[in-house]
Chain A
C-alpha cells in the first residue's frame, strides 16, 4: 500500500468507483465460471427439469431442444479458463493496482494508458465471453484476453465503467494535453503532484462535461462519487492556481468554474515541456473562462463595435433600457 497519505486518502475517496469496476469484473467472472460449470446434455437436463420430469420426460431428447447454450469447444474452454484466471487476479489484487507511480523520467500519460489497458482486461474478458458463446471467437482477429485493451478501443459502455486511477507524478511532467484523450466516460484521474508545476496545467482540460480541478488536498474527492462524468483532479503542493470546474454548478463556464487562487507572479521559466509563454497562456485561458460576460462591453460597442446587426441592435436596446453595465 502506498505510504503517501494523499495517495491513501485519494484511493479511499475513489472506493465507490473502484467498487463499480470490481462489481463489473466480478459479474464477468461469474459468467465465465457459469460457462465452465455448464455441462450440457442429459444429466444436466435431468437435473434442471427436476423430479417431476423423472419417468415423464426423456432428458436426452429434451436436451436436444434446450441446449441453447451450446457446449464450449476445447479452444473456447481454454479461453474461458484463461479469462477466469485473469479476472481472479484482478479481483484478488489490492487497490494498489489503481495507483500509478510515475518516475522522474515522466511519461505519465503512457503509464496511465498502460494501466488502463491492463485493467481493461475485465472489459476484454466480457467481450470475448460473448464471442466464445456465439462460437465466433478468433484468436488472430480478436486477440488474447491478456493482450491488454487500449483505452482508444474502449466502447462508451466500457468507458462508463472505467477503473479510477491515482497517479503520482512530478509537477514538471504534468502535461494536460497528453491526458485530454482520456477525458471521457467515467474516467477518474487523481493526480498527486510532487514539486513545482505549471500554474494552471489543467486549465486546458476544462470542457462543459468534465470535472477538472487543481486543489490543495483530497477533500474535494468526497463529492466525486455522485458525479457522472469524467474527472481529472490534481492535488498540488506549490503556488499554482487553485480552481474547481464542476459541470453540475451551472450551464455557463463562469458559473461552473470557481477560482480560489490565482498566482500573482507570472511564470518566466520553462517547466518540463511547457514554455513560459504557454504557462502564461494557460493562466490567461483560465482567467477568460472564469470571467462573466460584461454587458457594459456590449453596450459600449453598440452601433460601431459589432459587425453583426443583431448584436448591434441588442446592445442598443440594452443601452436604451438603462441596463448597460449591469452584470
Chain B
C-alpha cells in the first residue's frame, strides 16, 4: 500500500467531488520567511515531472523583510499548471493557500484572485489573544465575504504544532501536503523533491518536513470535500525544470564561457550563485568584482586575453557599465552582457519585472557604439540565447546584450533537456604567428570585421585603446580615420542584420491588428491573441528577438495590418491623460524604436504594474485596439 493510499484510507469524506479541469492556477502566500516559495517550487517541479505544463512566478515583496501581517508584504508564489504547455502566469488564481488573512487581502486588492477562488486560510489568527489581530481578522473576513470566494479555514498552526514547536517552519510543508491531496500528486515524487530541496540539511530536517507534508495530506483527505484533477501527459522526452537565471547560467556553461564577472544585484544575482556552484565542479571563474564597472572591466580583460567572457547585471548596473561597454565596442572585444531587467529608474523596484532597459541597452552609450541586443522570450530561450550570443560576439568582435527580466529570472518552466553540442564551445585559441604586416584592425571593408590578435600570438602585439585608432591600433584623431573606423563598426551590425530572418507571425499574415512584443511577454501575448481570434477578431502577433539590429521585413509586415501596436512592460502616456497630446505623448520603448526604424504609425499598450502582464488584460487591450478597424483598411 502506498503512503498516499494509507493516508486516504484513514478518514475520507463520503461526498468528495472530483473536478477535472484542463488547467488551474494556485498561489501560496505568506509573510516573508515562512517558506511559501519553497512549497510552490516543490509543487511546481513535481507537476512538471508528472507531465503537466507549468509556469511559476515568485511573488516577492519590494522589501527584503517587510513587517509581518501586512497586505503589501505578501510573499509567495503562483503556479499555473495545465494538461498542455503553459507559457505565462495567467490571469487570476483559482486556489490560494494563505498563511494569514492580511497577505490574502493584499492579493485580493491586486485583483489576483478569481471571483470563485477557493481559499485555504490559516485560522489561528481568529483566536489570537491580541485584540488588534483578532479585529483585523474579523474585518478582513467581512471584507472578503462580500465576494464569491469559498474560504476554508484550516488549523495549520494547530496541526503543525503536533510535529514542530515552531509552526512558522512547518506550515509550508503542511500546505504542500494539502495541495498534494487536492491535485492527487505522487507522494513519492514529492518526497524525492523534498529530499532535493533539503539536500544540504540533515536527515532529521528531511524527516520532519516529510512528516509535516503527510500531516497536511491527511488533514485535507479527512476534511476537504473536493479534489481537482489536472490530467497529466507523460513527457515524451527528457525534460529539465529550472528558472530563467539558472538557464542563463547553464547556457553560459554550455557555450564554453569560462568567466563571469559580476557584482550582486537583484534580480540577477542568482545566476552567479548557480555558476559559483557549477564552475567549482566543471571549471571556470566566477569573479565578484568590487563594483559593476570593475565587473565589466574584468570581463573585457578576459575576452581580450582570448576567453569570451560575460558580465551579468540589472538596470542600475547596466547604467554603471555604460562606459566599459563603449570600450568593448571601440576595442572590438567580444563581450556578452546579460541584463536581468527590473523596475526602474534608479533602484526602482528591485524584485519586480519591467522591460524598461531597452533603450538604455540600445543607445545608452555616449558616442556611436553599435552593438547587438537580443531578448529571450522563455526560460528555455534563456539557455539557448547565451550560446547564440557568444557566437555572435565572437564572430563580429562586438558586444551582445541579452535582455532577460525578473519574470523569466524567477519563473520556473520545464523544457526539453538541451543536447549539448561541441560546436557551441569557443574555438581553440589560435596562437599561430600573425602574418607579417597584418594589422590588428585591418577591417574587411565588405564585412566590417577585423582580425583579433590575442596576447601570446607572435607578431600580434598591439596597444589596445579606447581612443580612436587606425588599423594598426595607433591613436589617430584624423577625421578620415574616425569616419572609416566608425563605419566599419557599424557595418558589422548591418552585416549581422543581413543574416537575420524575418520574424514569425503568430496568426494570420494580414488582418486588423498586429501586436508586437519582445522578451518575456510572449506567452501572455500569444494567449491573448488566441482568445481574441476565438472571438473572431483579426489579430496576430509577432515577437522580436533581435532588437539591434532589428530583424528584416518589419515595414512590409506592418503594412499588411490596419494597426500595429506594441505590448510592453514599460511606461507610456495613456492617450487622453491630462496634457498628453499626439505630439508630446511618450510611447513604449519598442514602439519608439519601431516608429523610428519603419516610419510606421506604431501604437503601444504598456503597463508597469510590477508584475508580469496578464493575458486577460492584453486581450482587453486588443479588443479596444480593434474597435472600428474592421471593414476597411486604414
B500 CB contact (under 8 Å) in A34, A47, A56, A66 = A56
SS class, residues of chain A in contact with chain B: helix
Q: Are B388 and A53 in contact (CB under 8 A)?
A: yes
The CA-CA distance from A177 to B334 in the complex, in Å, is: 53
Q: Interface with B: A57-65, A70-78, A246-254, which one?
A: A57-65
Q: Are A48 and B435 in contact (CB under 8 A)?
A: no
Q: Are A52 and B376 in contact (CB under 8 A)?
A: yes
Taking the closest CB of chain B, its distance from the CB of A47, in whole angstroms, is: 4
B432 CB contact (under 8 Å) in A52, A58, A133 = A133
Q: Interface with A: B141-149, B354-362, B417-425, B511-519, which one?
A: B417-425
B501 CB contact (under 8 Å) in A30, A47, A48, A57 = A57
4 closest pairs, A vs B, by CB?
Answer: A50-B387, A52-B384, A130-B432, A47-B423
Asked whether any CB of chain B lies closer than 8 Å to the CB of A69, the reply is yes
Asked whether any CB of chain B lies closer than 8 Å to the CB of A297, the reply is no
Proximity string of chain A (98-130) to chain B, C-beta cutoff 8 Å, 1 when within and 0 when not: 000000000000000000000000000000011
Given known pairs A61-B498, A65-B495, the reply for A52 and B388 (CB within 8 Å) is yes
Q: Which residues of B contact A52 (CB under 8 A)?
A: 376, 381, 384-385, 387-388, 545
Q: Which residues of B contact A66 (CB under 8 A)?
A: 391, 395
The CA-CA distance from A129 to B430 in the complex, in Å, is: 11
Proximity string of chain A (18-53) to chain B, C-beta cutoff 8 Å, 1 when within and 0 when not: 000000000000110010000000001001111111
Give the one of A31, A49, A69 with max B CB within 10 A.
A49
Q: Are A62 and B432 in contact (CB under 8 A)?
A: no
Q: Are B504 and A55 in contact (CB under 8 A)?
A: yes
The CA-CA distance from A56 to B432 in the complex, in Å, is: 34
Q: Would you mind naming 5 contact pairs between A and B with Cβ atoms under 8 Å apart?
A: A52-B376, A53-B388, A56-B501, A65-B395, A69-B427
Asked whether any CB of chain A lies closer than 8 Å to the CB of B75, the reply is no
Taking the closest CB of chain A, its distance from the CB of B199, in whole angstroms, is: 30
The CA-CA distance from A50 to B430 in the complex, in Å, is: 23
The CA-CA distance from A133 to B435 in the complex, in Å, is: 11
Q: Are A130 and B433 in contact (CB under 8 A)?
A: yes
Q: Are A50 and B421 in contact (CB under 8 A)?
A: yes
A56 CB contact (under 8 Å) in B255, B396, B430, B551 = B551
A57 CB contact (under 8 Å) in B381, B388, B430 = B388
* Segment 432-480 of B: residues with Cβ below 8 Å from A: 432-433, 435, 447, 449
A-B contacts besides A66-B395, A133-B432, A134-B432, 18 pairs, CB < 8 Å: A49-B388, A50-B255, A50-B384, A50-B387, A50-B388, A50-B421, A50-B424, A52-B385, A52-B387, A53-B391, A56-B503, A56-B546, A58-B501, A65-B395, A65-B396, A65-B496, A65-B499, A130-B433
Taking the closest CB of chain A, its distance from the CB of B116, in whole angstroms, is: 40
Q: Give chain B's interface residues, CB within 8 Å of chain A.
A: 255, 376, 381, 384-385, 387-388, 391, 395-396, 418, 421, 423-424, 427-428, 430, 432-433, 435, 447, 449, 495-496, 498-501, 503-504, 545-546, 551
Q: Are B498 and A48 in contact (CB under 8 A)?
A: no
B391 CB contact (under 8 Å) in A48, A69, A134 = A48
Taking the closest CB of chain B, its distance from the CB of A124, in whole angstroms, is: 14
Smallest Cβ-Cβ distance to B387: which chain A residue: A50
Taking the closest CB of chain B, its distance from the CB of A137, in whole angstroms, is: 12
The CA-CA distance from A53 to B496 in the complex, in Å, is: 12
Taking the closest CB of chain B, its distance from the CB of A204, in whole angstroms, is: 35
Smallest Cβ-Cβ distance to B381: which chain A residue: A52
The CA-CA distance from A69 to B428 in the complex, in Å, is: 11
Q: Which residues of B contact A133 (CB under 8 A)?
A: 430, 432
B545 CB contact (under 8 Å) in A34, A49, A56, A58 = A56
Taking the closest CB of chain A, its distance from the CB of B457, in whole angstroms, is: 10
The CA-CA distance from A31 to B430 in the complex, in Å, is: 9
Q: Are A48 and B384 in contact (CB under 8 A)?
A: no
Q: Which residues of A contact B384 (CB under 8 A)?
A: 50-52
Q: Are B501 and A55 in contact (CB under 8 A)?
A: yes
Q: Which residues of B contact A68 (CB under 8 A)?
A: 395
Count of interface residues, chain A, beta-carbon cutoff 8 Å: 25
The CA-CA distance from A65 to B430 in the complex, in Å, is: 18
Q: Are B423 and A44 in contact (CB under 8 A)?
A: yes
- Inter-chain CB contacts under 8 Å: number: 71
Give the one of B421, B423, B449 with max A CB within 10 A.
B423
Smallest Cβ-Cβ distance to B416: which chain A residue: A51
The CA-CA distance from A49 to B374 in the complex, in Å, is: 14
Given known pairs A47-B423, A48-B423, the reply for A57 and B495 (CB within 8 Å) is no
Smallest Cβ-Cβ distance to A48: which chain B residue: B423
The CA-CA distance from A48 to B421 in the complex, in Å, is: 8
A34 CB contact (under 8 Å) in B255, B387, B428 = B428
The CA-CA distance from A53 to B251 in the complex, in Å, is: 14
The CA-CA distance from A49 to B381 in the complex, in Å, is: 13
Q: Which residues of A contact B503 (CB under 8 A)?
A: 56
Taking the closest CB of chain B, its distance from the CB of A313, in whole angstroms, is: 48
The CA-CA distance from A314 to B242 in the complex, in Å, is: 82
The CA-CA distance from A320 to B435 in the complex, in Å, is: 64
Q: Are A58 and B500 in contact (CB under 8 A)?
A: yes
Taking the closest CB of chain A, its distance from the CB of B425, in whole angstroms, is: 9
Q: Which residues of B contact A130 (CB under 8 A)?
A: 432-433
Q: Are B498 and A50 in contact (CB under 8 A)?
A: no
Proximity string of chain A (124-155) to chain B, C-beta cutoff 8 Å, 1 when within and 0 when not: 00000110011000000000000000000000
Q: Are B388 and A31 in contact (CB under 8 A)?
A: no
Taking the closest CB of chain A, its distance from the CB of B1, in whole angstroms, is: 45
Q: Which residues of B contact A56 (CB under 8 A)?
A: 500-501, 503, 545-546, 551
Taking the closest CB of chain B, its distance from the CB of A36, in whole angstroms, is: 13
The CA-CA distance from A16 to B325 in the complex, in Å, is: 44
Q: Are A30 and B428 in contact (CB under 8 A)?
A: yes
Give the one of A56, A62, A133 with max B CB within 10 A.
A56
The CA-CA distance from A35 to B103 in the complex, in Å, is: 62
Smallest Cβ-Cβ distance to A50: which chain B residue: B387
Smallest Cβ-Cβ distance to A157: which chain B residue: B458
Q: Which residues of B contact A129 (CB under 8 A)?
A: 432
Taking the closest CB of chain A, its distance from the CB of B524, in whole angstroms, is: 20
The CA-CA distance from A263 to B388 in the complex, in Å, is: 73
* Segment 207-228 of A: residues with Cβ below 8 Å from B: none
Smallest Cβ-Cβ distance to A133: which chain B residue: B432
The CA-CA distance from A34 to B426 in the complex, in Å, is: 12
Q: Are B499 and A58 in contact (CB under 8 A)?
A: yes
Given known pairs A57-B499, A61-B498, A65-B495, the reply for A49 and B387 (CB within 8 Å) is yes
Q: Which residues of A contact B381 (CB under 8 A)?
A: 52
Taking the closest CB of chain B, its distance from the CB of A24, in whole angstroms, is: 12
Smallest Cβ-Cβ distance to A131: which chain B residue: B432
Give the one of B388, B418, B424 with max A CB within 10 A.
B388
Taking the closest CB of chain A, its distance from the CB of B516, in whole angstroms, is: 15
Smallest Cβ-Cβ distance to A61: which chain B residue: B499
Taking the closest CB of chain A, its distance from the CB of B150, in whole angstroms, is: 44
Taking the closest CB of chain A, its distance from the CB of B517, in whole angstroms, is: 15
The CA-CA distance from A113 to B13 in the complex, in Å, is: 94
Taking the closest CB of chain B, its distance from the CB of A161, in whole angstroms, is: 14
Taking the closest CB of chain B, its distance from the CB of A159, in whole angstroms, is: 15
Taking the closest CB of chain A, its distance from the CB of B444, in whole angstroms, is: 9
Given known pairs A49-B391, A56-B546, the reply for A134 and B435 (CB within 8 Å) is yes
Q: Which residues of B contact A61 (CB under 8 A)?
A: 498-499
Q: Which residues of A contact B424 (CB under 8 A)?
A: 47-48, 50
Q: Are B449 and A65 in contact (CB under 8 A)?
A: yes
The CA-CA distance from A265 to B384 in the complex, in Å, is: 81
The CA-CA distance from A34 to B422 in the complex, in Å, is: 11
Smallest Cβ-Cβ distance to A46: which chain B residue: B423
The CA-CA distance from A31 to B395 in the complex, in Å, is: 20
Smallest Cβ-Cβ distance to B427: which chain A residue: A69
Q: Which residues of B contact A31 (CB under 8 A)?
A: 428
The CA-CA distance from A68 to B447 in the complex, in Å, is: 12
The CA-CA distance from A137 to B396 in the complex, in Å, is: 28
Q: Which residues of B contact A69 (CB under 8 A)?
A: 427
